Amino acid sequence: MGLHFEVKQDNKFKFVEEGEGQPLLLLHGLFGAMSNFAGIIDHFRHTHKVIVPMLPLFELDLLHTTVGGLEKYLTKFIDHRGYKDIHLLGNSLGGHVALVHILKSSSNIRSLILTGSSGLFENGMGDTYPKRGDYEYIRKKTEMTFYDPNTASKELVDEVYQIVNERMKTLKVISLARSAIKNNLGDELKQIKLPTLLIWGNNDSITPPFVGREFNKLIPNSELYFIDHCGHAPMMEVPGEFNVILANFLQKFKDPAAN
C-alpha cells in the first residue's frame, strides 16, 4: 500500500491515529498488518478519529497470548488514551477481541463492526501450523484469506512472512489460534445491545458466510451485509464497497449539534 501513516508511541502503546471526530478504532487479526486498514484510514480520517493500535500478538508472555490477554491490553489502551464513544471495528481475531471487550464492559463503546470475525467458528489454521522459513506455506495461507489470490501481493506475503519468521514464535500463533477456537462466545452474544454492523465476504473460507448469519441471529441489534467475490478481509479486498457500507452505518451516529 502506498499509504504510510505515522506510528505514534504513548507509554508502551504503539498505534496510528489520524483525523478528528468520533473515534473509529480498528483491531487487526492474527496475521494482520497496518496495510490491512490503509483503505479505511484514508477514507474515514476526514470524518472520524481513526485509531489502529498495534496489538502485541508476539510481545506478551505465552500465558497471556490469548484472546483475553489481548482484550486486557485493549482495555488499558482505551483507558490510557481516554477514548469515549468508540466505534469498534474488528477483523478476524480482532473482531473476537472486540466482542470480549464489549461483553466485559461496553461503557465507552458506541457501536460494533465485525468483519470475518472469529468467536463462533473459524477454520483458522486448518490442521497445519506455520513452519519457520516456509515461504510457500505463508503464501498459500495469505492467498486463502482472499477470494482473488492475486490480492495477496508479494508485498503482503513478504510482510506476513517477516512477522512469522522474525518476531513470531510459532507457539504464540498456535496459542492465539487455539485460544480463539476455545473461547466460543455463542451463548453470550445475545447480551450485546449495541448497534452492530456485520460485513462478510461471500467467499470467506476462514469464517464462512454461515458464521456471519449466525452472528446476525445471535446479536439482537445487528445488520448483515455480504460482499461478492470477497474473502476474509473485505476492508482490504474490496475497500470501496466496504467503506460505503461502513459510512452509511456510521452516518446514523452523526451528532447534529457538531459539524
Which residue range forms the structural domain that includes residue 86?
Answer: 8-251
Model pTM score:
0.88
Q: Please state, in angstroms and rounded to a whole number, the distance separating the CA atoms of residues 204 and 234.
A: 9
Residue 211: predicted pLDDT = 94
Q: To the nearest whole number, what is the mean pLDDT of the chain? A: 88
Give the confidence band of 17 by pLDDT, cuts at 50, 70, 90. very high
- Does 259 fall in a domain? no
CATH code at position 151: 3.40.50.1820
Answer whether 89's CB lies under 8 Å from 27's CB.
Answer: yes
What is the CB neighbour count within 10 angstroms for residue 110? 17
Q: Write out pLDDT tens, residues 56-85.
A: 888 888 888 899 999 999 999 999 999 999
Q: Write out pLDDT tens, residues 105-133.
A: 999 999 999 999 988 876 654 445 556 66
Residue 95: predicted pLDDT = 95
Residue with the larger pLDDT of the pair 195 and 205: 195
Q: What is the mean pLDDT of residues 177-192?
A: 88
DSSP letter at 167 equals I
Residue 168, pLDDT above cutoff 60: no
Residue 190, pLDDT above cutoff 60: yes
- Does 146 fall in a domain? yes
Answer whether 245's CB lies under 8 Å from 79's CB.
Answer: no
Q: For the chain, what is the domain count?
A: 1
